[in-house]
Structure 1
Amino acid sequence: MISATVTGHVWSTRRIDGLPAGALLEVEVDGTSGSRLIAFDVLGSGLGERVLIAQGSVAANWFVGTPPPVDALIIGSIDPDVSG
Structure 2
Amino acid sequence: MLRAVVTGNVWSTRRIDGLPSGAFLEVEVAGGGSRLVAFDVLGSGVGESVLVVQGSVAAAWFPGTPPPVDALIIGSIDAPGDDGEAALPAGSRIPGRR
TM-score (norm 2): 0.82
In the alignment, the residues of structure 1 paired with residue 18 and residue 2 of structure 2 have an alpha-carbon distance, to the nearest angstrom, of 25
Runs of 4+ in 1 over 2 A off after TM superposition: none
Cα deviation digits, residues 24-53 of structure 1 (max 9, x gap):
000000001x31000000000000000000
Aligned-residue identity in percent: 76
Higher normalized strand content (fraction of residues) = 1
Partner of 1:2: 2
Please give the root-mean-square deviation of Cα atoms over the aligned residues, in Å.
1.0
Alignment correspondent of 1:45: 44
The residue identity in structure 1 corresponding to 2:80 is: D
Gaps of 5+ in 1: none
- Which is greater in Rg? 2
Report which structure shows greater RCO (CA 8 Å, sep ≥6). 1
| Length-normalised TM-score, structure 1 | 0.95
Gaps of 5+ in 2: 84-98
